[in-house]
Amino acid sequence: MKKIAVAAILLVMMTALILALRKPSPATPSSAQNPSLSALVSPTPHVQLPVTVTPALSADSVILIGNYTERKTSEEIAKEHNCAYLVNGGFYTTTSTPVGLFKSGTVSLRGGRESALFDGYISRNQMDTPLITRMIPDENSTWALQTGPILIENGKAVPLSIKNDQPERRSFALITGANELIFGLVEQSTLTALPQVISNWARENSVIVGDAINLDGGSAAAFRGENGVYPEIAPIGSAFCAQL
């Protein structure tokens, strides 16, 4: 498991380097178009980071799509599945398999495993409630994905200590107090700062955050929606697709 974690960290570091060399520009500027969905936030008093988010989604409008072997682009996936919004999913290994649990409908690619970095699961349970948990989700979940780290837990930012943490593109999922899903993307943030970036954004936008979790980042981070398009550089392993 350590090897997988190290591979994932190396992948993240490599993609950070790629991103540093070539930062993709959003096809549609986000904050200018829809200020209610994007806001300027301050993780520290001196730095403001734009956050682009989906609207609050009910879990039954969201599906999880595996792309480990297919290697389709996020644009292709969005067209194929008629996604109003698409955000990349979790991390994958150098052999193009998910780093931990992946379940979507009847497809189960891997089981859950202990990991310090990928310490949580995002899932939709049989009551159509979205969950972010440290425990492996119930086997009856409609979809479930292991990822991490958990960024906000029960409304409080989780203190993170990440080695070699560099600013890069980050994507995340959060569950509101009303059990709605919001996916988001931050262009440049360290992982350590991400819980505070999200908390600041939530406060500015009067969103109650129950829990939030980190998704794959760097070059494998992608966001597509009417308020912004941030294409990936490296293939995304999986995608959350909101069909509105």
Partner 1 sequence: MSPRVDIKHIHGVPIALYKMSSIEVVVVTIDFKAGSYYEPHKNWGGVHFMEHMVHEGTKQFPHRDALEYYKEEYAINQNASTSGQILSFEANFPTVSLKEGFRVLSEIVTAPTIPENELAKEKNVVTQEYRDKWSQPNNRFWKAKVSYLYGDSHFMTHDALGQPEYVQSLTKKDVESIYQDCVKRNTMSITVVGNFEETELEGLLTSFIAQVPEGSPQTLPVKKPQSKGTYLWHKEDMDKVSIDIAFLFDPRSEITKRDRMILLLGSYILGGSPRSRIFRKLRGELGLVYSAGSMVMFGQCASEFHLIASTSLSDAKVAKEELLKALHTLKNVEITDEEFERARKYLNLSTLTGYDSPYRISDNISGELFFDGTVIPPQEIISLVNTIQKEEIAMLYKKYVSNDPIVMVMAKEDPKLQ
Quick check: 158 binds partner 1 (CB under 8 A)? yes
Q: Count H helices and E strands in the chain, helices first.
A: 4, 17
Cα–Cα distance measured from residue 148 to residue 113, given in angstroms and rounded to the nearest whole number: 12
Return the sign of the alpha-carbon dihedral for residues 143, 63, 178, 168.
Answer: positive
Which of 71, 79, 156, 203 is the binder for partner 1 (CB under 8 A)?
156
Q: Is the peptide bond before 231 cis (omega within 30 degrees of 0)?
A: no
Quick check: 116 binds partner 1 (CB under 8 A)? no
Quick check: 216 binds partner 1 (CB under 8 A)? no
Q: Which stretch binds partner 1 (CB under 8 A): 18-26, 160-168, 208-216, 236-244?
A: 208-216
Which of 20, 47, 107, 208 is the binder for partner 1 (CB under 8 A)?
208
Give whichever of 63 and 150 is closer to partner 1, judged by the CB atom: 150
Quick check: 178 binds partner 1 (CB under 8 A)? yes
Q: How far is the CB of 125 from partner 1 (least distance, A)?
A: 6
Cα–Cα distance measured from residue 221 to residue 226, given in angstroms and rounded to the nearest whole number: 17
The residue to which tokens 């904050």 are assigned:
31
Quick check: 21 binds partner 1 (CB under 8 A)? no
Q: Which stretch binds partner 1 (CB under 8 A): 3-11, 34-42, 151-159, 220-228?
A: 151-159
For the sheet with 223-225, list strands across it.
62-66, 238-242, 85-88, 223-225, 228-230
Q: Report strand pairing: 62-66 vs 47-53.
A: unpaired
Give whichever of 83 and 152 is closer to partner 1, judged by the CB atom: 152
- The residues that touch partner 1, with contacts defined as CB under 8 A, are 125-127, 129, 131-135, 138, 153-156, 158, 177-179, 208-211
